[in-house]
Amino acid sequence: MKKNADPAWPDEVHALLQDADVRQVAIVPDAGHARLIQLCEKDKSMRVVRLTTEEEGVALLAGAWLGGEKGVLLMQSSGVGNCINMLTLPIACQFPLPMLVTMRGDHGEFNPAQIPMGNATQAVLEAMGVMVKRADSAADVPEMVSSTLRLAFNTYRPVALLIGQRVSGAKDFRKLTRSGPL
């Protein structure tokens, strides 16, 4: 497998969230966000809000902004599908909403069920009027996160950063099978 995973990017992203004064971190976990979630959970200036579905995060962060707090929404690309109608809120009311989306159904995917939503993620977001950016190497992630936060908070809109599957590496199901049950 191509060695592209740079373990430092979640730490850099966490520092960027701190710098941006992000207080609410809304999550449905993805393996690609595991370290970033850990860092946010340890950070007393941030509140991690675990969601049952990603659209809750879209509504949560509209409420946060109404009350003067900034937030960020972390999810995997399949969660984008759960958000579509709720995106009405940040679009119609111009709420800042940075979304950091780790891609599945992308580079080297093994699981057929990840393909339909992963392949449609960008088109679906853009159809709703969400600005979409991409980072396809670990080295690009911090700069693209910084740009996503600035676009969202300074220009009052939802902005999604799609973090490509090349960054965290495709999940190797065959290897996981060999090492025991999931």
Partner 1 sequence: MSGLLRRREVVSELLAPRGDALVIAGLGAPAWDITNAGDHELNFPLWGAMGGAAMIGLGLALAQPKKKVLVFTGDGEMLMGLGALATIAVQAPRNLYIVVLDNERYGETGMQETHTAHGVDLAGMARAAGFAQTLVVRTESGVSRLKKAIYAGEGTLFAQIKVDPQKLPLVLPPRDGCLLKNRFRAAVLGPQAAQQ
Contact 77, 109 (CB under 8 A): no
How large is the C-alpha radius of gyration of the chain?
16
Smallest gap from Cβ 66 to partner 1, in A, equals: 5
Whichever of 12 and 69 has its CB closer to partner 1, that residue is 69
Whichever of 28 and 39 has its CB closer to partner 1, that residue is 28
Smallest gap from Cβ 1 to partner 1, in A, equals: 36
Whichever of 23 and 107 has its CB closer to partner 1, that residue is 23
Whichever of 50 and 115 has its CB closer to partner 1, that residue is 50
Smallest gap from Cβ 8 to partner 1, in A, equals: 30
* Partners of 101 in beta bridges: 75, 162
Smallest gap from Cβ 60 to partner 1, in A, equals: 4
C-alpha to C-alpha distance for 78 and 30, rounded to whole angstroms: 10
H helix count then E strand count, the chain = 9, 6
Any idea what DSSP says for residue 172?
A: -
Nearest 5°: phi and psi at 76?
-95, 165
**Which residues contribute to the site for partner 1 (CB under 8 A)?**
23-24, 47, 49-53, 55-71, 85-86, 88-89, 92-95
Residue entry with tokens 């940040």: 90
